Amino acid sequence: MTDRVYLNAVGADGNPLFMHVRDGRILALGAEPPAAGAAQVTDLRGHLVLPGFVDGHIHLDKSFVGDRWRPHRPATSLRERLAIEKQELAAAPPIEGRADALIAQAAAFGTMAMRCHVDVDATTELANLHAVMTAREKWRGIVDIELVAFPQAGVMSCPGTPQWLEAAVREGAEVVGGIDPSTLDGDAEGQLDCVFGIAERLGAKIDIHLHEPGVQGVAQIARIAARTRALGLAGRVAISHAYALGDVDQGALEDVAGKLADAGVAIMTNAPGDRAFPPILALRAAGVQVFTGNDNIQDCWWPYGNGDMLQRAMLIGYRSGFYTDDDLLTALHMASHAGAAVLGLDGYGLQAGNEANFVALPAPNGAAAVAAVPAQRFLFRKGKPVGEAAQAYASVTPAA
């Protein structure tokens, strides 16, 4: 039996926080320090303690992290963008190494779980999936990675893709994806029949990329919500991006937000820099689970990103006009507890009985951390300091 006591920390609310860990799990925590007994005692020096971050949307197979810098190449259409991507990725090092490099970078910032969308279609078949699975295995027990079979090239418009999506789920992808059922595929009902059919047959979750704008996009969101409710898939369906929610008037937003909440469909937004995006506070007020992720990181889609989910929370707050502490904590929640709920992570968070997985950083509270994004991060997994954390904090074991 190994006991560790962490003293002199603060929680996201800025209040004092003490933690007693036994055999890698939180035995007790609160404002009053526990009796240390024979436990190893670590002084966290007034630093903020947060649960590990959750990246709810990332593309490990696309990133050039771990490779050389590649200047962005403009494109005038989605199909042209896909063609450029295929050219660039064909000349890049193998996926396994690039994915590993990005996971390592994200983990160093404090990410402990992620949902990764992996291209699966009739041209890539399962090659990308197998490569990311290899990288995932190396990080098992350190970063939990849920995989989405993502039909980047379309479902109905890319013949043969439905069979490969089903094969991907049978081989271990936990989520089946979709993309722009009308504007890319030209067959909304056909794509949704396929995606929801696979989920129903194989017990998979669903996460659909939806970039379709305005009234058309909102109609698509309502269609997805209706199918989710009819099949009893509440809590198992997400829509990524959902730009249309930022395009429509208040009445249309309230109507579709009610449908999303009633169906239990979550919304992922990364607050993209050049596009209207879902109004987070209005959706949350309606009861919709809203989470976030980095999305593309230094790839053919855009040159930005480094895998830091605290930085992503800052960008969410910045673009949303979040100024109050409560709103900044909402951005932090999207990068942690909300993502954990969507991924279905058991035992997530700082509470008794859970694994003691957390990040310590120099900030007075969670809102300040989102606003300033401190560069220093000290990681603890199963109650033990990882890497620099072991040197950063003094630990004392009382004499027997």
**Same domain for 82 and 151?**
yes
- In 3D space, the residue among 32, 47, 133, 134 whose CA is nearest the CA of residue 369 turns out to be 47
**Same domain for 102 and 210?**
yes
400 assigned to some structural domain: no
Q: Which residue has the tokens 């970063």?
A: 143
Q: Quick: pLDDT tens for 287-326.
A: 999 999 999 999 999 999 999 999 999 999 999 999 999 9
**pLDDT higher than threshold 70 for residue 274:** yes
Cβ(3)–Cβ(20) under 8 Å?
A: yes
How far is 197 from 163, CA to CA, in rounded Å? 12
**Same domain for 151 and 278?**
yes
Give me the number of domains the chain comprises. Answer: 2
State mean pLDDT over 190-204. Answer: 98
- In 3D space, the residue among 146, 181, 145 whose CA is nearest the CA of residue 161 turns out to be 181
Q: Quick: pLDDT tens for 138-180.
A: 999 999 999 999 999 999 999 999 999 999 999 999 999 999 9
83 assigned to some structural domain: yes
**Same domain for 119 and 237?**
yes
Amino acid making up residue 257:
A
Cβ(38)–Cβ(5) under 8 Å?
A: no
pLDDT band at 79 (very low <50, low <70, confident <90, very high): confident
40 assigned to some structural domain: yes
- Please, what sign has the CA dihedral across residues 371, 282, 12, 295? negative
- In 3D space, the residue among 101, 96, 88, 140 whose CA is nearest the CA of residue 118 turns out to be 96
- In 3D space, the residue among 258, 36, 271, 57 whose CA is nearest the CA of residue 147 turns out to be 57
CATH of the domain at 216: 3.20.20.140
How far is 172 from 25, CA to CA, in rounded Å? 28
126 assigned to some structural domain: yes
Strand ranges (E), the chain: 3-10, 16-22, 25-30, 40-43, 48-51, 53-58, 111-119, 144-150, 175-179, 205-210, 237-241, 265-268, 290-291, 358-361, 378-381, 384-386, 395-396
Q: How many helices (H) and strands (E) does the chain have?
A: 13, 17
Supply the DSSP symbol for 158.
S
**Same domain for 276 and 295?**
yes
Amino acid making up residue 191:
Q
156 assigned to some structural domain: yes
**pLDDT higher than threshold 50 for residue 400:** no
How far is 350 from 110, CA to CA, in rounded Å? 14
How far is 178 from 131, CA to CA, in rounded Å? 21
Q: In the structure encoding, which two tokens stand for residue 108, read together?
A: 């160093």
pLDDT band at 1 (very low <50, low <70, confident <90, very high): low
**Same domain for 380 and 274?**
no
**Same domain for 247 and 257?**
yes
**Same domain for 223 and 96?**
yes
CATH of the domain at 17: 2.30.40.10
**pLDDT higher than threshold 80 for residue 37:** no
Above pLDDT 70, what percent of the chain? 97
How far is 202 from 208, CA to CA, in rounded Å? 17
**Same domain for 168 and 253?**
yes
Element (H, E) at 28: strand 25-30
Q: Quick: pLDDT tens for 224-241.
A: 999 999 999 999 999 999
Output the pLDDT for position 327.
98
Q: Which residue has the tokens 């009445």?
A: 251
Element (H, E) at 309: helix 309-320
Pairing relationship of beta strands 40-43 and 3-10 according to DSSP bridges: parallel
* Last-in-domain residue among 328, 343, 358: 343
399 assigned to some structural domain: no
**Same domain for 81 and 30?**
no
Query: Cα-flanking dihedrals φ and ψ of residue 250, to 5°?
Result: -60, -40
3-state helix, strand, coil in the chain (%, to 5): 35, 20, 40
**Same domain for 382 and 312?**
no
**Same domain for 178 and 231?**
yes
Residue ranges making up the domain that contains 382:
3-51+349-393
